[in-house]
Amino acid sequence: MLSNLRSISVRVLHASASCSDKVRKKDLPVLPPEEVGWAFNHIEKKKGLYKPKHSIEEQLAYMKSKAYEDAYKDLPVHRWYKRNLKGQAILAPPPRLFCIDKHGRFNRANPCPICRDEYLFFDYRNPALIEQFLADGTHEPIDIHKSGLCREQYAMLKAALLKAREHGTIVFAVDFRNYDYRQWYTNWTDEPGPNVERGGVLFEELHPDPLIEFPEHKRDQGNDWDEWWLRYDKFVKKGK
């Protein structure tokens, strides 16, 4: 009697698994041939899921694929990122400490632009990703609020940028800028001279599309965010 019950239960499990597999296959979209082989995460809420790990070779191939082009439209990966919090027009929310815990699982449903894409991570061998987070005309990373990164990824960005400078994968050269003083002085008649390149690198080529800034959404000014983050770290450590 027990053996018969076990065989029936095994059959039911196999039948339900096959039915669920058929339903999942029907729900998955049909990908074009040039996008086959790249993973697509159709789950919006990632909390509790594990982030896959990929090599730098897979990341470089992914950023040259049509799947990456269709996802970001030749724009920085952080361009249209937005936190799922209310009141961002009045007060910018503080950056998260991390999006992925020590076990490799997402602790937020809407992670930062780097954590949410399973192929993206900062590495000195991929300067194209690091250059997306550099301020226009400088060799410094943009503000953490503009990037949308968590504090862990922002620290990884600064570490990868420093390592890229040491290994020479990012060549930094600031061109000499000749300002047009006629915009400020009415009696100035001289025309500005031509821009001088240094090292053969122009930042207009690295950042052809300037970052869009919305100062009206950054009304919170004059606060010492470093002190605030220190207090926030102590609060989070107590919560853990």
85 three-class SS:
coil
- pLDDT tens digits, one per residue of 27-36: 555 555 555 5
Query: Is pLDDT of 56 > 60?
Result: yes
Query: Is pLDDT of 3 > 50?
Result: no
Mean pLDDT of the chain: 75
The average pLDDT across 167-194 equals 80
Q: State how far the Cα of 156 lies from the Cα of 121, in Å rounded to an integer.
A: 9
Question: What sign results for the dihedral spanned by CA atoms 145, 151, 153, 156?
Answer: positive
- pLDDT tens digits, one per residue of 116-156: 898 999 999 999 999 999 987 678 899 998 898 999 999 99
* Cα 52 to chain centroid, rounded: 16
Residue of 35, 21, 43 whose CA lies nearest to 69: 35
Q: State how far the Cα of 95 lies from the Cα of 151, in Å rounded to an integer.
A: 6
48, HSE (Cβ side, Cα atoms, 13 Å): 3
Residue 114's contacts (CB-CB under 8 Å, 6 or more residues apart) are 77, 120, 121, 122, 149, 153
Beta-strand runs (E) in 106-190: none
Query: Residue for token digits 């220190």?
Result: 230
pLDDT band, residue 23 (cuts 50/70/90): very low
Domain ranges of the chain: 28-172+210-239, 173-201
Q: Is 170 buried (19+), middle (13-18) or exposed (0-12) by CB count in 10 A?
A: buried
pLDDT band, residue 5 (cuts 50/70/90): very low
Out of 51-65, 90-104, 167-181, pick the least confident: 167-181
Token reading at 67: 């799947």
Q: Is 125 buried (19+), middle (13-18) or exposed (0-12) by CB count in 10 A?
A: middle
- pLDDT tens digits, one per residue of 66-113: 889 888 988 999 988 888 777 666 777 888 899 998 888 888 888 999
Q: State how far the Cα of 144 lies from the Cα of 81, in Å rounded to an integer.
A: 13
Q: State how far the Cα of 174 lies from the Cα of 139, in Å rounded to an integer.
A: 9
- pLDDT tens digits, one per residue of 199-216: 565 555 655 555 545 455
Residue 102's contacts (CB-CB under 8 Å, 6 or more residues apart) are none
